[in-house]
Amino acid sequence: MSEEKGSFSGKVGFVLAAAGSAVGLGNIWRFPYLAANQGGGIYILTYVILVVFVGFALSLTETALGRRTGKSTLKAFGALDRKSGWMGVLPALVPAIILPYYSVVGGWVVKYLGSYLTFNGAELISDSFFGSFISSPYSPLIGFALFFVVTSVIVSFGVQKGIEKASRFMMPILVVLCIGVAIYTLTLPGAMEGMKYLFVPNFSQFSFKTLFSAMSQMFYSLSLAMGIMVTYGTYMKKDVKMDTAIAQVAVFDTAIAILAAVMVVPGVFVFSGGNPEALNKGAGLMFVTLPKVFASIPGGDFVGILFFVLVLFAALTSSISLMEAIISELMEIKQMSRRKACVIVSIYSLALGSLASLGFGPLSFIKLVGFTIFDFMDFASNNVMMPVAALIICIFTAWIIKPETFIDEVKLSSTFKVQKIYSVVIKYVAPVLILLVLITSVMEGLGLISY
């Protein structure tokens, strides 16, 4: 290796960086609208149960794989079992697909924040703003490039001086902003109706759809099945209690997702006079509906600034982890210096991200299996590659090297009281659920079933 592998300074450094990866657009943008249009309380309950029983085990497995082998995804599998080296290829590729288009969305956040900061928040509230902004040729590229350059500069400073330091700075601010904005939206008249919808589970609304969509959201939100936790695991010192660290990350991530739902859903509820249709906006909820909510409340522009700063921080700490997963692979396989790897990944991501961004406008004639470039990258990574990668990781752990290998790794520094449950989850519960998610999400993406 051409450069010393870095490490986090200790448990807090690991937890903040890993939580930084986990807490992202998935929590603040995706979770609230999923919770809103999938029955509210029942969705949140299902999600929490899945995190406790499945997400924790999977996240622990990936981290243990990294710490045990000291290798990033591409080599980690082969290091434990020579014949299984190929299993690392898919999870190692996922971040390279997600990073460019994730940064495009990061760029939209930059634009929105910029508008609020320059007192132009009013432009965001027209119905057509979002659509015409993302399909214009240049303006989304500026935000995207800015977002990406910041990501890349932080990563170029390395594990402790770059990633850990940035997470130590941004994560506490993010938590404070989240709590502040949530308290604010709760004071709006009528907000309690929204809260009731969010937190009182209505069991008649439960369906397999609830289960599967909560499951795939959980993967995305905990940054699983894409080599990130493996990479961060290699930076975790052996004396850090891995099980409690991972539990803290999972709790952190889930708490922020629920807080985000508290920030977004009651506001929209109040704004729309309790009409659940308004919550069915899907992806547009954050970029289309929320600015209108902010415009309708006193001091809304200021809340808009706080909100988009927090979204920006959440997105940045996630894109950092995506980039780091790729950088660590390059440093390991190609013996490349961190700096050189950063330059190469930057050129690649700027090129691919620009294509994804232009795919909404000038390049919208390009269709891949019926998808725009952006949607294709999203579909290929989230609906196909991630579930397959997760399945591979489960099979590898359960049936090839046996869960005991990782149980031993965890036990280096903790008693690991839940090891029996861990084995059962990794052998049976997780693979079955993942397989079902894979089948339904591919069918859904191809329009064979509708969600």
| Chain residues that interact with ligand PHE, rule: CB under 6 A | 21-22, 24-27, 98, 220-221, 223, 226, 228, 318, 321-322
Residue 24 or 143: which CB sits closer to ligand PHE?
24
Nearest distance, CB of residue 225 and ligand PHE, angstroms: 9
Helix, strand, coil distribution of the chain in percent, nearest 5: 80, 0, 20
Nearest distance, CB of residue 223 and ligand PHE, angstroms: 4
Residue 223 or 328: which CB sits closer to ligand PHE?
223
| CA distances in angstroms from 19 to 61, 86, 150, 252, 378, listed in the order given | 16, 29, 19, 7, 22
| CA distances in angstroms from 266 to 173, 196, 262, 303, listed in the order given | 23, 9, 6, 15
Q: Which of helix, strand or coil describes residue 368?
A: strand
Q: What is the number of H-type helices and E-type strands within the chain?
A: 23, 0
Nearest distance, CB of residue 216 and ligand PHE, angstroms: 12
Nearest distance, CB of residue 260 and ligand PHE, angstroms: 10
| 395: Cβ contacts below 8 Å, ≥ 6 apart | 431
Q: Which of helix, strand or coil describes residue 37?
A: helix
Residue 257 or 373: which CB sits closer to ligand PHE?
257
Query: What are 279's two structure tokens?
Result: 């919550």
Residue 24 or 445: which CB sits closer to ligand PHE?
24
Nearest to 103 by CA among 414, 350, 371, 395: 350
Residue 27 or 69: which CB sits closer to ligand PHE?
27
Nearest distance, CB of residue 27 and ligand PHE, angstroms: 5
CA distance 419 to 253: 22
CA distance 68 to 368: 39
Nearest distance, CB of residue 66 and ligand PHE, angstroms: 15
Residue 177 or 191: which CB sits closer to ligand PHE?
177
Greatest distance between any 2 Cα atoms in the chain:
62
Residue 19 or 430: which CB sits closer to ligand PHE?
19
Residue 36 or 226: which CB sits closer to ligand PHE?
226
- Sign for the CA dihedral angle at 46, 49, 50, 51 comes to positive
Nearest distance, CB of residue 220 and ligand PHE, angstroms: 6
CA distance 342 to 162: 13
Compute CA 297 distance to the chain's CA centroid, rounded to the nearest angstrom. Answer: 29
Residue 323 or 433: which CB sits closer to ligand PHE?
323
Q: Which of helix, strand or coil describes residue 398?
A: helix
Nearest distance, CB of residue 315 and ligand PHE, angstroms: 7
Nearest distance, CB of residue 158 and ligand PHE, angstroms: 19
Q: Which of helix, strand or coil describes residue 371?
A: strand
